[in-house]
Amino acid sequence: MTQSAAVAQEAPAVNQPILHVENLQKAYHGQEVLKSVDFEIRKGQVKAVLGPSGSGKSTMLRLMALLEPSDGGSIKLRGETIGTKEHRGRTVHLPERLLARQRQDIGMVFQKFNLFPHLPAVRNVMLGLTSVKGVSHHEARELAMEMLQRVGLENRAEHYPSELSGGQQQRVAIARALVLNPSVMLFDEPTSALDPELVGEVLDVMENLAADGMTMIVVTHEVRFASRVASEVSLFDGGVIVEQAAPDQFFNNPKHERTKRFLSHVH
Amino acid sequence: MLFDPEIFFQQLVSPEYMWGALISVAVAVLSLILATLIGFFVALGRTSRKRSFQAPANVYVWFFRAIPALLVLLIMWNALPQLIPIFSQDWFTPFIAAFIGLGLVEAAFMAEIIRSALLSVDEGQSLAGRALGMSPTKVMLKITLPQAIRIALPPTGNEFIGLVKYSSLASVISLRELLTTAQVGVNITFRYAEYYAAAIIYYLIIVTILTLLQSMIEKKFAWTSRATVKKSRALAPAAKAGLS
């Protein structure tokens, strides 16, 4: 709370956050996974979220992507509340049909890629355009090819996911999310399922994306990537954000004991 | 009495046998289509989270898995016209009664095949579709179903072959399918071996064709670029440059 207030003071009033999460809560079977998460990201920012496994980082992303209902709190996308609405003084979750519309503006990249195995790479990228945005087949193909070019895979367009390496699959998955031109891209441990030698090509694509001004939230274990690319790094643990700071300060001069302990393990 | 090849061949190429085989295949095809349609919705009901969808689907599967197909056919043909006047009209032939009856029974089994196929599609698939902003219907049609079909294909092939043979049950409602044709011939000539052997040949041919058809369809669902590259090359040589 105090952190988001501090950030708000620094930034000019017109520059409202792209995504703003307040007091976000989630429990599974009585187990609190998100206790109270406050988080915001502005246009062009890249926020890296670090933290031990099972700390709730991925859950936070899924809630932000409206893939799971929250138990409390609010999510605002460009100033507008998404996922829920006020109805007779109570907060209710929107029906799936409306959620689907709101999700179009949020890109999501999964740890396990989740490419559609029955479609070639280019079709994977096209599907959102043709079946969600109503773009014509021809135009969708052109846009998809452009996007594949951007992730360096235009020569793999007709290959099926099973014929691509993990790194290539994840790059297609990035292109698939990117082609819908979302306001913010969420990455859920995008390199955790990859062989070590394939991590670099995915991080390169993400770094280029960041350089092009994409707003990104990256849950990751890649400390080097976080320190080099992120504009802000957060430590997530026990269902809350423990520390949030610019990478330089986060890695070299962390305030919290918990952060120091975490960094001593990963370095 | 020796096996008389002449009688055997005579029957093999007779229009009666061909017609009988055609009827058998037609009953099997139509009942499989009906069973797949009903089975799909029953499977949706059984995988639904809503009890009001689950309950009727469960009852359907429970009921039609329990009742012998033969009994269903007898009810369709004998009892139904007595109970409901529409079914005593001319349009309601043994053929229609047979494929609807077998389709109703088969739907219970297809529902289970489709249900397990839908459940075996990785959860991440619908998650990815939803994340793209696709509606639940679109996710089902464009993502889950195509993948479920591949899983359901081999057991469906089995069911299809089963249906070809089950169609012989329709002899009890006087449908002249393949086996009835043989039986009628036997009753007149008492040349059991020749007439039954001819029927065997037809069943073998039908199932061989179905097996080939099944492996052809399964290849279509291989999801590798080899098939598509070959196809697009054959269809449009100009597209080659764009491919690689």
Q: Are strands A216-219 and A184-188 parallel, antiparallel or unpaired?
A: parallel
Chains A, B: CB pairs < 8 Å: 89
Report the distance separating Cα A110 and Cα B127, nearest Å. Answer: 9
Q: How far is CA B174 from CA A193, B40, B104, B181, in A?
A: 62, 30, 19, 10
Is the Cβ pair A103, B150 closer than 8 Å? no
Q: Which of A99, A114, A163 sits opposite B128 (nearest CB)?
A: A114
**Cβ pair B125:A114 closer than 8 A:** yes
Question: Residue B207 — pLDDT band, cuts 50, 70, 90?
Answer: very high
Interface check A159 vs B, CB under 8 A? yes
CB A168, CB A156: distance < 8 Å: yes
Residue B227's pLDDT is 53
Q: Is the pLDDT at B244 greater than 60, yes or no?
A: no
Give me A232's structure tokens. 């802000």
Distance CA(A227)–CA(B185), nearest Å, equals 86
Indicate whether A99 belongs to any domain.
yes
Distance CA A189, CA A61 (A): 10
In a domain, A162, yes or no: no
Is any Cβ of chain B less than 8 angstroms from the Cβ of A106?
Answer: yes
Quote the CA–CA distance of B139 and B75 in Å, as a whole number.
40
First to last CA, chain A: 29
Averaged pLDDT, B227-234: 50
- Please tell me what DSSP assigns to residue A163: G
- Do the chains contact at B134 and A128, CB–CB below 8 Å? yes
Window 173-192 of A, Cβ < 8 Å to B: 173, 176-177, 180
Select the residue from B49, B120, B132 to test the A interface by mutation, using most A Cβ atoms within 10 A.
B132
Nearest to A116 among B125, B131, B150 (CB): B125
Predicted local confidence at residue A88, as pLDDT: 87
Q: Is A182 helix (H, G, I), strand (E, B) or coil?
A: coil
> Is the CB of A103 less than 8 angstroms away from the CB of B142?
no
In this prediction, residue B238 has a pLDDT band, given cuts at 50, 70 and 90, of very low
Name chain A contacts of B124, Cβ cutoff 8 Å: 110, 112, 114
ipTM for the complex?
0.89
The answer to the question of residue A193 being in a domain is no
Domain B5-243 has CATH 1.20.58.220: no
Q: Is residue A20 part of a domain?
A: yes
d(CA B47, CA B121): 13
Residues B185, B194: Cα–Cα separation, whole Å: 10
Which neighbouring-strand residues pair with A240?
A: A237
How does pLDDT run across A141-191, given as a tens digit for each residue?
A: 999 999 999 999 999 999 999 999 999 999 999 999 999 999 999 999 999
Count of structural domains within chain A? 1
Q: Where are the alpha helices (DSSP H) in chain B?
A: 5-12, 15-47, 51-66, 69-74, 80-83, 94-120, 123-131, 136-138, 145-166, 178-189, 192-220, 225-235, 240-243
Over chain A, what is the mean pLDDT? Answer: 91
**C-beta atoms of B223 and A118 within 8 A:** yes
Distance from CA of A179 to the nearest CA of B (A): 10
pLDDT in tens, B99-146: 999 999 999 999 999 999 999 999 999 999 999 999 999 999 999 999
Tens of pLDDT, residues B24-74: 999 999 999 999 999 999 999 999 999 999 999 999 999 999 999 999 999
Q: Is B219 on the interface with A (CB under 8 A)?
A: no
Which residue in A104, A118, A120 is closest to B133 by CB distance?
A104
Domain of residue A11, residue span: 2-105+221-266
Give domain limits for chain B. Answer: 5-243
The tens digit of pLDDT for each residue in A93-128 reads: 999 989 999 999 999 999 999 999 999 999 999 999
Query: pLDDT tens across A195-207, in order?
Result: 999 999 999 999 9
Is residue A109 a contact partner of residue A174, using CB atoms and an 8 Å limit? yes
The count of residues in chain B is: 244
- A95 at the B interface (CB within 8 A)? no
Predicted confidence band of residue A62 (pLDDT cuts 50, 70, 90): very high
Question: Does A46 have pLDDT greater than 90?
Answer: yes
Put simply, whether B133 touches A (Cβ < 8 Å) is yes
User: Residue A83 sits in a domain of what CATH number?
Assistant: 3.40.50.300
